[in-house]
Every structure is written in structure tokens, then in C-alpha cells.
Amino acid sequence: MQAEIISIGDEILIGQTINTNAAWMGEHLNTIGIRVHRTTAIADSKEEIVNMLEEALSRSSLVLITGGLGPTKDDVTKKTLAEYFNMPLEIDAETLERVSTFFRSRGLPVLKVNEDQALMPKGCTVLHNLRGTANGMWFEKDGKVIVSMPGVPYEMEWLMENEVFPRVLDFFKRPSIVHRTILTTGVGESFLADQISAWEDSLEELNIKLAYLPSPGAVKLRMSAYGGGSEVELKSQIEKKERELLEIIGEHVFGFEKDTLASVVGKKLIAEKAMIAVAESCTGGMISHLITDIPGSSSYFLGGLITYNEKIKIAELGVSPELIAEHTVYSEEVALAMASCAVKTFGADYAVSTTGVAGPDDSDGVKVGTIWVAAANKERAVCTKLRLGKSRERNIIMASNAALNLLRKEFLQINR
């Protein structure tokens, strides 16, 4: 069975939008055992859409389309599909009600273009979009499936998870696949590969595939057991292999599946009934953002100080001006003091801190990417010096995660 993706939108072709949707869909289809063999981006053009659809249906059983469903004139996907499948557009009462409520609840009038969002091709399966005003559509033709979804990632992802995947699994009979993702940090891809080489070789006879998924500061290892057994059998094979893996690289493992360093730290703080504070310099709010991105973080996050300016480090955080004068703000001493002062100032149980040069250039003779991260409790503080690259964006996220990881390893005693 072949699947393919069609991304519709001039903005993708001229590079104004990076096609993250195709990557998201490719990744998630893969986890349910469906391989995308082609991804195409085309313009908001009726002719292009029809040609592309015919092409795609000539080789694929599942065609997923995103984009071109907005209310404006350049959005032609819905009209084109309605004509292609010979299904006249009709008002869908449920959608009209939802769209009207959406605008009214925000105190906005319901315009004609908004009402048009409720026009759906008669006979298609309407995939109600509870995250926006443009519905998805499910068409079937000669045993093949065509799905159209809005291009807004947040809406597309919701529709895929809630409306599309269940239907796809039901429509196409798929053999069992079991995945398990193990999250590591603080160690490079090639180093991991070297350490687990023998273990990796042993996966082959069980027909378990291993993928390395690197991101800034972390490498995910995803095992996928394909077919050849029931889900229970595959699961038990994967669990056995996971135990073996943890014996080898357990010290680098910080979590599983969708964990993040911030979520792992958060769970541990909840268990300890402990509170955390943050003092950030070069990471500029990113650590606080990573922590507060998690619903419920208010139960363990007291708050943070972003001390971008030296005088704020002194006046608000309480770092000694003599210490700064002696060591400069770019130093281990100041990172340690920032973490300890944050514990004290916020009345927290733990704190993390960062100081250094995020870049893109060197600063005051300190090389770009030189960043100190520290963690503290009421008694002591520890610090690590990072030597990162020249990308400001990458340095900010890597230093933020390194600070959380330092706290995790030194104080929260989470080995995995």
C-alpha cells in the first residue's frame, strides 16, 4: 500500500512557508506502518490540483492533501475537489452552527466568507475541524482514499489524530507495528551508535528496526517491531530489548516517548512537592518557556528572572557586584551565584541559571557558544561549561536543555 502527500500553496513553492506538515504526516503515518513514497508541493491552481490528483491516484491508495481551504479567493482546493468528485457544494448545518458560534463568541460578526466555510461537497465525509473553521473532507474512489485538510499545522494535526488516523486504520487493514522511543541527552549520535553497536545488530533477527532521531541536544532512539506476530508478542520483544539497552546507556536516558527534559523535571518536582525558580541570562526566557509550556506547571514553577542587563543581576537577583567585577558576567562563578541567588530570592527548593554568549558573534573576548549552566538547591550549586556553535537559536535551546538536565542529574536523581 502506497501513500502520498500533496501540499497545496504558493507560499510553500516560493519558500515563504516551510513544509513542516509533510514531515509531520510522514512521521506519523510511518508510526502506524504506512510509508509515504512521495510528497509534492503544488500551486493554488485548479488545473495543477486536478492533474496532481489524477497522477497520485494512479500510483497510491491513500492521498493526503493539505492547504487551500481558507476563506479567501486564492483558496481553490474545496471547489476543485467538489467538481472533481462531482459533488455540488451544500451548506452543512452543523458546520454553519459551529462557525457562527466561533465568531459570535469572540464578539465578531459572521461574514459571508465565514458562512462559505460551511459549504461542503455533498456526499463526502465531513471531518469536523474543532480547532478552526475549515473542515477536512474524506473521499473514497475505487477503493482508494483522498483526504483534504487545512494547511494550518495545528488544525491539520488535530484532524489527523482525531479523524483521519482512526478511519485510515479501519479502511486499510494494517499489520501490527509496535514502537518505543527512548530519549537520550548529552551524548552524540555517533557515540551512541558506537556504544550500542552489538545490541543494534541483535535487533535484526527480531525484525526490529532502529532509527536515530537527533535534535539540538538530544537523540531519540526509536525501535519499531514490524509484523510477524501479535501486538502482545511484539510488545514483549520490544520491552526485552529496551531493558538490554538501558543496561548499556541508561545514564544518558532521560525519558520515553513524548517526554521532554522540562516534563521529566516537572513530574519529579510534583512527586517531591518541590518548587523551582529560574535565573536566565543568555537563554533569555527559553527555560521558563520550556517549563511553562507544560499545562499544570504552575504547581511547581514559582517564576523566573531574566537578567539580561548586569544591573538587574545585582539589584533584582542579588548577585554580588564584586563577584561580577572579579570574574565578569561570563563565568562559572556568576552562573553558580545566579542559581543560588534564585533559590533565595524566590524562596525556591531548586533553581537553574545560565550565562554566556549566545551569539551570533563573540562578546567581550568570549567566544560565541561559550555558556555556563548551573543548578542549585538551598545547600549547594553545580555548574557545567558548554562549548556550543555559532547559531544563536540553537545555542539558546541547547543551553536551556543542558540546564534542566544538570538539575535532573545532580539534584533530582532521575537516572531515567
- Rounded Cα–Cα distance for residues 222 and 241 (Å): 12
Shortest Cβ 86–a second copy spacing (Å) = 26
Name which of 148 and 400 has its Cβ closer to a second copy.
400
Name which of 140 and 311 has its Cβ closer to a second copy.
311
Shortest Cβ 93–a second copy spacing (Å) = 20
- Rounded Cα–Cα distance for residues 352 and 265 (Å): 12
Which residue type occupies 108?
A: L
Name which of 152 and 234 has its Cβ closer to a second copy.
152
Query: Judging by beta carbons within 10 Å of its beta carbon (0-12, 13-18, 19+), is residue 323 exposed, middle or buried?
Result: middle
Shortest Cβ 89–a second copy spacing (Å) = 18
Grid coordinates of 276: 523551582
Shortest Cβ 188–a second copy spacing (Å) = 8
Q: Which of 412, 154, 393 is nearest to 274 (CA)?
A: 412
Name which of 56 and 375 has its Cβ closer to a second copy.
56
Name which of 316 and 332 has its Cβ closer to a second copy.
316
Q: Which residue has the cell 533565595?
A: 344
Name which of 298 and 415 has its Cβ closer to a second copy.
298
Name which of 87 and 289 has its Cβ closer to a second copy.
289
Shortest Cβ 128–a second copy spacing (Å) = 15
Please calculate the CA angle 95-90-60 and round it to the nearest 5 degrees. Answer: 85
Shortest Cβ 32–a second copy spacing (Å) = 12
- Rounded Cα–Cα distance for residues 126 and 169 (Å): 18
Shortest Cβ 54–a second copy spacing (Å) = 13
Name which of 274 and 302 has its Cβ closer to a second copy.
302
Shortest Cβ 411–a second copy spacing (Å) = 20
197 contacts: CB under 8 Å, gap ≥ 6 = none
Name which of 2 and 236 has its Cβ closer to a second copy.
2
Shortest Cβ 240–a second copy spacing (Å) = 21
How many CA atoms, within 13 angstroms, populate the side-chain half-sphere of residue 295?
0
